[in-house]
Amino acid sequence: MTKMINIQPSASTAEYRYARGWHCVGEADSFRDGKPHALNVFGTRLVAFANDEGEISVLNAHCPHMGADLSTGEIVNGRVVCPFHHWEFQSNGRCASIPYCDRIPPKAKTKSWLTCEVNKLLFVWHNPEGTGPGEGVEIPYFPEIDSDEWNNDWHMDLMIIETNPRELVDNLSDIQHFGPVHGAPCTYFANIFEGHIGTQEFHGDSGRLGGGLVAKSAYYGPATHFTRMRAEYEGRTIETILLNCHVPITPNSFELRFGVLVKKNPEWTDEQNNEVAKQYVQANRTSFYQDVDIWKTKARVDNPVLAEGDGPIYQLREWYSQFFMDEKDIPEKLKERQEIVTMDKQAG
């Protein structure tokens, strides 16, 4: 399901720098259909396709010959074929065949993007400096995605939101919106920022998602957010993994993918488990879309006036800023562990 969400623009397009990191562009199997797929991301156009072995590649979409869009071509023998003159490009971006010429020009190639496939999702690496990820900068694998104990296909929604991604990332430290927006007052809330990972732990109650709600979540870089959640829902314990990831289209728009995995109840039939999973997924969607409704009309505020108990908004934004600068310029303090407990009612 794809939705278009119109939200007030919030960042200048002049010399905008897109964040360094892994970005999810969809469920991996969706690219294994024998067709080229257009990706309008990072202010440009890419093409994703799978070869005969099912390995997925992402290339710059415009042919270096005469500029045609490779994503409007076709896949033949694992190569993407330009619709204009039928030049064929292999997974590394090099031209492998020209139907009317035996000699392939050395410059007949297009950029190949670094990709990885984790948790049945396809990720593309973006870095304006042109280098790959540093040691430990990776998307974590969740074994639940391959476990028979879980409904292990993502129940995925895709929407296009017209604002800067920072509005989404701010939620990681915004404790005070949970009560007014989601009806889920908080009893414990903490953030940890360390290197490229920013985490949140939330305890509270939700009329929609269940009582005794415990949610432990993390951004792995600027754009990929997973949450492990547990709550008491309709008389049973529900365990879920939430996916909340985005990839920028322009400075003022991004694709957002929201997905949910739900653990099965071993005492129930597959039909019963699927029905409860559908209900709980819908409850999560409804809760998440309450945030989206706020983003539709809110303005960008770079220097918000904060009150005591608002959460570490400025610390989060400082952590987030590292993905928009050269790696050599990242301050050492952003690599160190910083733990902030905003609320702890359980401890009195």
Q: How many other C-beta atoms lie within 10 A of the C-beta of residue 112?
A: 16
Nearest of 248, 206, 197 to residue 225 by alpha carbon: 197
Spans of all domains in the chain: 28-126, 143-347
pLDDT tens track for 270-302: 888 888 888 888 888 888 888 888 888 888 899
CA distance 226 to 218: 6
Per-residue pLDDT tens digits for 218-260: 999 999 999 999 998 778 888 999 999 999 999 999 999 999 9
Amino acid found at 300: R
Helix, strand or coil, per DSSP, at residue 328? helix
Quick one: which H or E segment has residue 317? helix 313-321
CATH superfamily of 28-126: Rieske [2Fe-2S] iron-sulphur domain (2.102.10.10)
In sequence order, what E strands does 178-209 have? 186-194, 197-206
| Environment class of 129 (CB within 10 Å of its CB; exposed 0-12, middle 13-18, buried 19+) | exposed
Beta carbons within 10 angstroms of residue 243's beta carbon: 21
CA distance 302 to 17: 17
Domain 143-347: give its CATH superfamily: Naphthalene 1,2-dioxygenase Alpha Subunit; Chain A, domain 1 (3.90.380.10)
Q: CA-to-CA distance for 341 and 172, rounded, in angstroms?
A: 13
pLDDT averaged over 10-residue windows placed end to end, the chain, 348 residues:
48 77 97 97 98 96 98 97 98 97 96 98 97 96 95 88 92 90 89 97 84 93 96 85 96 93 90 84 85 86 92 96 96 94 76
47: which strand partners?
38, 59
